[in-house]
Amino acid sequence: MLASIRRRIGWSRIAVTLGAEEEARKEAVRVGAALDKVKLPTTAAVYMACADLGISEELALWSIQKYGIRNCEVHRDLNDLKRAGEYPLLASILCADRNELSSTFPLIKSETDITHLRAIVQSEIDTWFEDTSDNPNHPAAWVPSIVLRQLRKDAVQKANQPSKDEIKQANIARSQRTSEEKVARQKEASAVTSSLARKKEDCKHQRASRIRAGEARED
């Protein structure tokens, strides 16, 4: 469950979601509301994953939040790199994050904790790149996974699609053109009708004139 969420929105946004859910939980406690009525789907997913892996829920939540926040503060959101197709930079960042955890989080003294946090970063690598075991420390050689290439493809297609505002403006312009064309056709039809009426009236007058002229000759 957690893996599917991570693939969809990334650790940075998971960290934000976890923070929001924690605030919701605290507010429920403050007002005395039943905690089972508070919706905490992402937190629940983390707890389930921790139970399956046999790791500390507290550590997992802390690690995700720290790593997610670091993604936003230290470098561009990894999701931006994925969508932009900047595979070498993405690989380089993930490799550095995995290998430099001790210096990145100096307050973590337990090697076990570092191992768990490194597993989170490795899960990102395993999702977005093919098997890197042959070149674990050479990110330039990493090959983007099918999932990552599809994410890039989807991003390009979305970027090439007109926005809602553009579609709205196009519909307005099309409607305006249709209205103008209708008015022009009505004016043209009216002009033709008026011309035919004038010709008919002219013919009537000419016929009347010929009749009067003939009567005058007879007199």
Is pLDDT of 143 > 90? yes
The pLDDT of residue 3 is 47
Q: Is the pLDDT of residue 74 over 80?
A: no
Is the confidence at residue 7, as pLDDT, over 60? no
Burial of 129 (0-12, 13-18, 19+ CB in 10 A): buried
For residue range 121-136, what is the model confidence (pLDDT) as tens digits? 888 898 899 988 888 8
pLDDT higher than threshold 70 for residue 105: no
Average predicted confidence (pLDDT) for the chain? 77
Report the predicted TM-score, pTM, of the whole model to 2 decimal places. Answer: 0.49
5 close to 15: Cβ distance less than 8 angstroms:
no
Residue 219 has pLDDT above 60, yes or no: no
Residue 203 has pLDDT above 90, yes or no: no
pLDDT at 1: 43
Between 107-111, 153-157, 161-165, 169-173, the lowest mean confidence (pLDDT) is in 107-111
